[in-house]
């Protein structure tokens, strides 16, 4: 599959009487890494299950290259959904699972999987249920990376990994599209660590898409202004202040919005410090229940 495009149009999902996802519209292209962010219960995993054809939307559509992937034998092997699995009863080895995956995924690279096992520092001939949680997470990551599926989804796949293993995984994510172009979706709560991996950011909030935007444009949505209390208060008056911190005579406001040239000039003339926000800061503030700031 070349130049695959994943499109979700006005997709909604009802489970019993609950509306879990509502009017989801997204477009994802080959060669990009998408960061899927959302608070607990926002609907991230449910959305990923729709993409992976574990469920069918109640309304709307999901297509890959214009085709519905649900129960589509030709498309299903092109989608890989990796998530935390209970391996307590799994007596097979990681290599057994890799060989099994190779049987129904033609693009699975067994030699590359062996290289990844070495990189993670784990053996592939030991029963998975005798491995640590971090090692089991690495096995999932290896299967996803070596599958070379057109759409590869990692849902909190680094849970349990130690810092060196997570860093190794991030490195291989960055290399993945050079090895075999694909659409990669990373759902995570470790926003601060993974920010640099994302080409685009998707934020789900209360079952709806709040944002889909290239990372660099998204980070321009806000800034932090720091300086003397009175000058900062004057500068941010009538701005959308997301959060405020005071330390003695110094005040720091987190502002949602983009500064124009006149505002930038005013900040310089007032000797105020303007700094960009990090993805995690923007994500937290944009999805929190707003409270009045005294």
Full-model pTM? 0.91
Name the burial class of residue 258, with classes exposed (0-12), middle (13-18) and buried (19+) by CB atoms within 10 angstroms of its CB.
Answer: exposed
* One domain, residues 107 and 177: yes
Q: What is the CATH number of the domain that holds 137?
A: 3.40.50.300
CA distances from 138 to 62, 64, 162, 195, 234 (A): 30, 28, 10, 20, 51
Task: Give the pLDDT confidence of 220-229 residue by residue, as tens digits.
Answer: 999 999 999 9
Tokens, residue 183: 């659409």
Domain boundary among 187, 215, 243: 215
* Same domain assignment for residues 186 and 232: no
Q: Domain end: 152, 184, 215, which one?
A: 215
Query: What parts of the chain have a pLDDT lower than 50?
Result: 1, 292-294
* Position 249 in a domain: yes
Pair 106, 236 in one domain: no
Is the same domain home to 89 and 48?
Answer: yes
In this prediction, residue 292 carries a pLDDT of 45
pLDDT tens profile 141-195: 999 999 999 999 999 999 999 999 999 999 999 999 888 899 999 999 899 999 9
Residue 34: per-residue pLDDT: 98
pLDDT (0 to 100) of residue 293: 45
Residue 73 and residue 146 in one domain: yes
293 occurs within a structural domain: no
Alpha helices per DSSP H over the chain: 44-51, 94-104, 110-120, 133-147, 163-179, 191-194, 215-219, 229-235, 261-269, 279-287
Q: Do 33 and 104 sit in the same domain of this protein?
A: yes
Strands 200-205 and 208-214, bridge-based pairing: antiparallel
Per-residue DSSP letters for 10-68? Answer: EEEEEETTEEEEEEEEEEEETT-EEEEE--TTSSHHHHHHHHTTSS--SEEEEEETTB-
pLDDT for position 4: 76
CA distance 70 to 68: 6
95-to-84, 112, 124, 157, 162 alpha-carbon distances in Å: 18, 12, 5, 19, 22
pLDDT of residue 288: 84
Q: For tokens 């987190």, what's the residue?
A: 254
Residue 187: which of 201, 177, 166, 175 has the closest Cα? 201
What is the residue range of 37's domain?
5-215
Domains identified in the chain, total number: 2
Does 84 fall in a domain? yes
């Amino acid at each position: 599959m070349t130049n695959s495009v994943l499109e979700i149009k006005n997709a909604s999902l009802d489970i019993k009487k609950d509306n879990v996802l509502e009017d989801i519209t997204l477009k994802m292209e080959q060669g990009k890494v998408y960061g899927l962010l959302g608070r607990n219960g926002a609907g991230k995993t449910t959305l990923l299950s729709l993409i992976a054809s574990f469920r069918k939307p109640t309304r709307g559509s999901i297509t890959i290259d214009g085709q519905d992937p649900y129960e589509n034998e030709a498309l299903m092997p092109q989608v890989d959904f990796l998530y935390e699995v209970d391996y307590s009863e799994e007596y097979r080895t990681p290599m057994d699972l890799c060989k099994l995956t190779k049987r129904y995924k033609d693009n699975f690279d067994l030699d590359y999987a062996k290289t990844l096992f070495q990189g993670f520092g784990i053996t592939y001939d030991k029963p998975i249920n005798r491995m640590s949680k971090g090692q089991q997470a690495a096995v999932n990551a290896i299967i996803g990376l070596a599958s070379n599926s057109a759409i590869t989804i990692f849902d909190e796949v680094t849970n349990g990994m130690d810092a060196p293993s997570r860093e190794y995984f991030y490195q291989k994510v960055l290399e993945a599209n050079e090895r075999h172009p694909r659409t990669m979706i990373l759902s995570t709560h470790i926003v601060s660590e993974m920010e640099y991996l994302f080409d685009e950011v998707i934020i789900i909030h209360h079952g709806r898409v709040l944002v889909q935007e290239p990372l660099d444009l998204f980070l321009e949505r806000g800034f932090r202004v720091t300086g003397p209390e009175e000058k900062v208060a004057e500068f941010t008056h009538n701005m959308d202040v997301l959060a405020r911190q005071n330390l003695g005579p110094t005040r720091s406001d987190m502002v949602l919005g983009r500064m124009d040239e006149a505002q930038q000039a005013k900040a310089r003339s007032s000797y105020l410090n303007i700094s960009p926000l990090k993805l995690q800061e923007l994500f937290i503030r944009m999805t929190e229940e707003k409270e009045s700031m005294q």
